[in-house]
Chains A and B, each alone.
Chain A
């Protein structure tokens, strides 16, 4: 770390000036961090221990209440199944495709990388709408494939895939391309001498990819997995918008996030909603920190 210091000045005065400069420069971010990062989390944790109708403290009652909601276990299973499928696809797909692209001539790799990158532009509600078309054999570019499998309409396609796989496909198409570009950039940063040395030692392309390059981008893959995990467990848009295809597709309580939303905004039970959110936060922080320290990817200094 660079330590900025002005020469020939009174250390006390310099430290005071440093302090004011740090405060002034950090102020906009700290205000936002306080208002949208820290305060809401503290508020949510506080709310989770309150009866939000009479505004009295009632301990773990909200937690007991939501844990007894049979939909919660099902929602947790749904979300974790989806996240497990999606993360597996992300790690295998991104690592595999990035390493393959890195072995190609630059121009070919660049064209392919761009084609992988562009679907990332399709996000939020647009991706659900696109996939509702893609899953409908009557209009889908995959229609012939579905018909060959004997799946005649969208309902059959969705039920054969299952919601977790459908959502994992949506998320993979949207998010993997950007990470392929990012990991591609990291792979390009690997010193040519290292790769050359491995080559001289007799390693083939596969060995160079898996034993030299992969370990060197492992931290970026770990970061991707952490951010994807945190993103995945809070899924809301995809199951919520499946109802656009009609009431038979509607799953308003498929994910934990949807349940929390229902409690807060449909039932007005802010305490129960906050309890559910707080549990979700606990899981997110616990698993993320396990990965962070397990891979030591985030060294502070």
Chain B
């Protein structure tokens, strides 16, 4: 720190003023959209325009909006929400089944293709969706898996970022002595994984499940390519179709569909609500677990 000592110290008060100013502006930037969205759900179309952006609406207005949304096409949005839940639960579960053992093996065994698999995993992480979307569409078509729950679930179960996280976690967080001791005590190879590594993997499982959930629930592109039947749409696709077909956000032509701006707002909240709840519940895991290994290189 010899060089640092020569640098004249910043005026501490001015420094803290700048810090709080930046953090205050950032708070406004980050909090405004969500706050506005949640408050806007309680307003109807005329009050969205006539009253201030953060004015409070009434519960009856939300009830009317919800009624319009749920009665449209026989609660079609409920069907899309159910589809999204099926795709996400299936995708997350299957990705965990694939990711945890793979990460464990890559971190604890040395074998011929280990480096190749790690490099391919990294390349898969950065491969643009567009490169694989068309071939996956054609492959799935060949196997009759387009427009099916199973097809979407196995396509989204491929989660190389999860393998990277698991590899880093097991390589840096598993005490070496513990594994050796288990083997000396007579534990089989699989028991070392299932009875030693897995019970120590709760933060990892939470982390992989969190990122996998986020990727699956918000998946748009792959679902857009693989799903063409509207009864199989996921919620993000359904939301776009709903708003597009009703023209709710445009000023072009008014449609006779009872989906307007308040319905678009409530439908958008429906899309983000599960992720919002998950975010609130999981922040400490993301904070504690993520990438601590990356620092150790």
Q: What residues make up the interface of A, taking CB atoms closer than 8 Å to B?
A: 1-7, 17-19, 21-22, 25-26, 28-33, 35-41, 43-44, 47, 93, 96-97, 100-101, 103-104, 112-126, 128-130, 132-134, 138-143, 173, 177-178, 181-182, 184-186, 188-189, 197-198, 201-207, 211, 216-217, 219-220, 223, 226-227, 229-230, 233-234, 236-237, 241, 243-247, 256-257, 260-261, 264-265, 270, 273-274, 276-278, 280-281, 284-285, 288, 292, 296-300
CA distance A277 to B158 in the complex (A): 20
Q: B205 near A: Cβ within 8 Å?
A: no
CA distance A237 to B256 in the complex (A): 27
A260 near B102 with CB under 8 A, answer no
Tell me if B's interface is mostly helix, strand, loop or mixed: helix
CA distance A188 to B272 in the complex (A): 29
A100 near B23 with CB under 8 A, answer yes
Chain A residue with the shortest CB-CB distance to B175: A2
CA distance A226 to B127 in the complex (A): 11
Closest chain B CB from A8 CB (angstroms): 9
A124 near B126 with CB under 8 A, answer no
B4 near A201 with CB under 8 A, answer yes
Q: B287 near A: Cβ within 8 Å?
A: yes
B125 near A227 with CB under 8 A, answer yes
Q: Could you say which residues of chain A place their CB within 8 Å of the CB of B36?
A: 133-134, 140-141
A138 near B102 with CB under 8 A, answer no
Set A1, A39, A104, A121: member contacting B139, Cβ < 8 A: A39
CA distance A30 to B118 in the complex (A): 11
A277 near B130 with CB under 8 A, answer yes
Chain A residue with the shortest CB-CB distance to B239: A125
Closest chain B CB from A14 CB (angstroms): 10
In the complex, besides A121-B278, A186-B295, 13 extra interface pairs with C-beta distance below 8 angstroms are A2-B180, A5-B180, A33-B124, A35-B139, A37-B124, A115-B31, A122-B34, A173-B30, A181-B287, A198-B4, A201-B1, A244-B244, A276-B130
Tell me if A's interface is mostly helix, strand, loop or mixed: helix
CA distance A240 to B163 in the complex (A): 31
Closest chain B CB from A175 CB (angstroms): 11
Q: Could you say which residues of chain A place their CB within 8 Å of the CB of B240?
A: 125, 128, 241, 244
B5 near A201 with CB under 8 A, answer yes
Q: A103-B19, A121-B275 are in contact. Are A203 and B287 (CB under 8 A)?
A: no
Set A7, A120, A203: member contacting B183, Cβ < 8 A: A7
A28 near B97 with CB under 8 A, answer yes
Q: B63 near A: Cβ within 8 Å?
A: no
Q: Could you say which residues of chain B place their CB within 8 Å of the CB of A104?
A: 23
A297 near B294 with CB under 8 A, answer yes
Closest chain A CB from B249 CB (angstroms): 5
